[in-house]
Structure 1
Amino acid sequence: MTIFYNYLLTCGNRYMREFYFALKNGKTESMLSKYILVIVLALLNAEYKAQDWQRLVSLKGFWKFSIGDDMNRAKPNYDDKDWETITAPSSWENEGFNGYDGHAWYRKTFVASGDLKNHTVTLRLGRIDDVDEVYLNGYLIGATGTFPPEYNTAYFAWREYHVPQKYLNIGGENVIAIRVYDSQLEGGLIEGDLGLYEKKGAMRLDLDLAGQWSFEKGDDKDWKEKNYDDKMWDKIFVPAHWERQIGDDYDGFAWYRLSFTVPQSFKGKKLVLVLGKIDDIDEAYLNGKQIGSTGNMKGDPIRYDTRSEYKLTRGYFIPDDLLEYGKENVVAVRVYDGFRDGGIYEGPIGLIEQSKYTKYWRNYKPPKQKKDIWELIFQ
């Protein structure tokens, strides 16, 4: 039953967690009912979430595959012609590599049509057993779990990685390379609708800031300063929960920082910094000046969950003359997480013209089913 308890906790939803504690406390009628209910709810949740996405490119089917580990395999021009061809999603044991545990790589080539440049693209890879790093045209775009020697499985996490437009070869061939480590039992790209997707009704930015950010646990107000030296900080991906990347179920304060350049062509435009959804509450600084916050960061932040701030999309209006065009700018985000998953976990992340931002929200229509499947079940 432990495997199902772990699944419930990794779902990051309070209704799932309530169900978890009900199971642990023996409040269901039988072991059989526990198994059946968990499986049915998991399948319903996967189907429910699939309704939120529009598929742009399918990546299901044949992939090149090789066991072992060599970082050169991430390069787009790496010669994989002698590799095996296997089907994904499927465990590599079911594709002939029965009994193998350890490192392996997947590679697949696809053509990015010109239409992709008009979309906010997410690479969805379903569930990978146990740990992965994902490269697009040689650029690292996502990672979940931690590789040995500090191994930490992420077997239950469903992979969704933002694809920066600057890494796509629009109109030409693109190469996805996936490094995987499996410790025991089944391994590889286990299940899911592999492909490039766009979330229905996604906001389309003028400057994409998703990708690797500097990250540090703890709290120090000096970390907001533009000239603060963060070169010794960890690098993690935004958007993504921090637990999946640092191998630590950390709750508390942490900071994100990113240096970026705004093109001269943006000068004179009113802009909004979009930070997507943050679990749980935050303060945002641009070049050392606070430009917005969500939730009560003063007093006792432990009361963070009174208004479910983690569900809100952050959009902070940038004061005139705060950005430096054609030069380095620094955004710093102070985050407090009170329970389970934390951090800047869902996009979009970047800059958008104020007129486009306000138009988006004027025209925004919430999905017909706004509640999570677990809320519908347990309400």
Structure 2
Amino acid sequence: MFSQLSNGQLIDLNGYWKFAIGDQRNWSNRNFDDSKWDEIRVPRPWEDQGYHGFDGFAWYRTKFDGTKLDKDQSFYLNLGYIDDVDEVYINGELIGFSGAMPPQFKTAFNSERKYVIPKYLIDYNGSNTIAVRVYDVTQAGGIIDGDVGIYSVSSVTPMYLDLRGVWDFAISRNGSKPSSDTEWDRILVPSHWEAQGYRRYDGYAWYRKTFTLTKEMYEDELVLILGKIDDFDEVYINGKLAGQTRDNRRVGSSTSYSKYRIYYIPKVLLKPTGQNLIEVLVEDIGIDGGIYSGPIGITTKKSFDKMSNQFDW
């Protein structure tokens, strides 16, 4: 029922996409009417398709058929190379971004875009909308190169919840939690924060992410995997400390950055219904910082134990 192309691709998205120059936030909406938009080929610079010399904001939109995807698999969207900066939405929700939009512009033209698609966003019974916001500052612009499509995620650690993707993020000079939502930015996990606009920053920062449990998940023994963190961390679930890693050594001698963060989740910390909140306080003591390497997610103790011999946990 579920076919796969020879290169591992599940859905081929090379071809003609809807396209418009300008920038309006409702262009990310799943049901926005883009019937009057132009069509241009992806991947190919927009300068080669009637928009010669254009620099600025533009949007791409296309759809994919959710019935072609297996609910038991995990997926990522490969958009190849985008010049210069992008934000990517599935059915109206942000799933990833690269570079930094103005006024703190930072190009990411040489980075391949691969974004995990949260399972809960996918309509497995019908059409799904991909919307890509792009900002180009000079020369070629748009989705310019790559094998664009949807691919399956191969993982030796099956996740109940794959938590890679967009998290809330805030730097903190003394480790205190931000008091206002306006102090939070967005960041992609996993990735060093230096690669996302926080160059040369050493010190404290907070990450946060919400998740919802199914009845089956709540009844299981769960394990939170946060990959590798540079350098030290404290992890809270619904405001209660769930674990921490800190060897208290100085930069150059500390090895905390190389350790996988594996925290068993006591059931007493979890809410069986509604949203649960993960908060991670990270302290970087030098060089790179942040939640920088996967896997990232929540799995069962049984699945984790089966895979424990494949990782140097």
SS at 1:355 equivalent: helix
Report how many residues are paired. 303
| Distance change in 2, residues 1:334/1:261 (3 Å) | same
| Distance change in 2, residues 1:203/1:193 (3 Å) | farther
Find 1:178's aligned residue among 132, 154, 168: 132
Residue pairs, 1:150-229, within 5 angstroms: 150-218=104-172, 220-223=174-177, 229=179
Larger strand share, 1 or 2: 2
Superposition deviation, residue 70 in structure 1: 1.9
Superposition deviation, residue 196 in structure 1: 1.6
Superposition deviation, residue 229 in structure 1: 4.5
**TM-score normalised by length of structure 1:** 0.71
Is it true that 1:119 corresponds to 2:119 in the alignment? no
| Distance change in 2, residues 1:86/1:205 (3 Å) | same
Counterpart of 1:276 in structure 2 is 227
Over the aligned positions, Cα root-mean-square deviation in angstroms equals: 2.8
Amino acid at match of 2:183: W
CA distance in 2, matches of 1:322, 1:331: 11
CA distance in 1, matches of 2:28, 2:266: 41
Q: Is the CA contact (8 Å cut-off) linking 2:170 and 2:205 kept in structure 1?
A: yes
Find 2:264's aligned residue among 317, 320, 343: 317
- Identity among equivalent pairs (%): 40
Q: Which runs of 5+ in 1 are unaligned?
A: 1-52, 367-379
Larger helix share, 1 or 2: 1
Q: Is the CA contact (8 Å cut-off) linking 1:126 and 1:159 kept in structure 2?
A: yes
Is it true that 1:90 corresponds to 2:41 in the alignment? no
Superposition deviation, residue 346 in structure 1: 4.4
Q: Which runs of 5+ in 2 are unaligned?
A: 1-6
Q: C-alpha deviations, 1:335-374, integer Å up to 9, x for none? A: 234324x422444433211111212334x499xxxxxxxx
Is it true that 1:361 corresponds to 2:308 in the alignment? yes
CA distance in 2, matches of 1:325, 1:256: 22
CA distance in 2, matches of 1:67, 1:299: 52
Superposition deviation, residue 279 in structure 1: 4.1
| Distance change in 2, residues 1:295/1:54 (3 Å) | farther
CA distance in 1, matches of 2:212, 2:31: 29
Counterpart of 2:278 in structure 1 is 331
| Distance change in 2, residues 1:258/1:295 (3 Å) | same
Q: C-alpha deviations, 1:41-60, integer Å up to 9, x for none? A: xxxxxxxxxxxx94222222
CA distance in 2, matches of 1:170, 1:355: 28
| Distance change in 2, residues 1:157/1:240 (3 Å) | farther
Amino acid at match of 2:95: I
Superposition deviation, residue 103 in structure 1: 1.0
| Distance change in 2, residues 1:307/1:239 (3 Å) | closer
Is it true that 1:235 corresponds to 2:188 in the alignment? no
* Of 97-106 and 59-68, the range deviating more from structure 2: 59-68
Q: Is the CA contact (8 Å cut-off) linking 1:123 and 1:162 kept in structure 2?
A: yes
Amino acid at match of 2:149: G
Is it true that 1:104 corresponds to 2:53 in the alignment? no
Q: Is the CA contact (8 Å cut-off) linking 2:232 and 2:256 kept in structure 1?
A: no
CA distance in 1, matches of 2:232, 2:14: 37
CA distance in 2, matches of 1:58, 1:263: 32
**TM-score normalised by length of structure 2:** 0.84
Q: C-alpha deviations, 1:126-173, integer Å up to 9, x for none? A: 221111111111111112222223322222222221211111111311
Q: C-alpha deviations, 1:188-221, integer Å up to 9, x for none? A: 1122221222343353322344444321112545
SS at 1:359 equivalent: helix
Superposition deviation, residue 87 in structure 1: 1.6
CA distance in 2, matches of 1:345, 1:196: 23
Q: C-alpha deviations, 1:48-89, integer Å up to 9, x for none? A: xxxxx9422222222121222222211122222232222212
SS at 2:47 equivalent: coil
CA distance in 2, matches of 1:178, 1:250: 29
Q: Is the CA contact (8 Å cut-off) linking 1:212 and 1:235 kept in structure 2?
A: no
| Distance change in 2, residues 1:327/1:176 (3 Å) | closer
Q: Is the CA contact (8 Å cut-off) linking 1:93 and 1:99 kept in structure 2?
A: yes
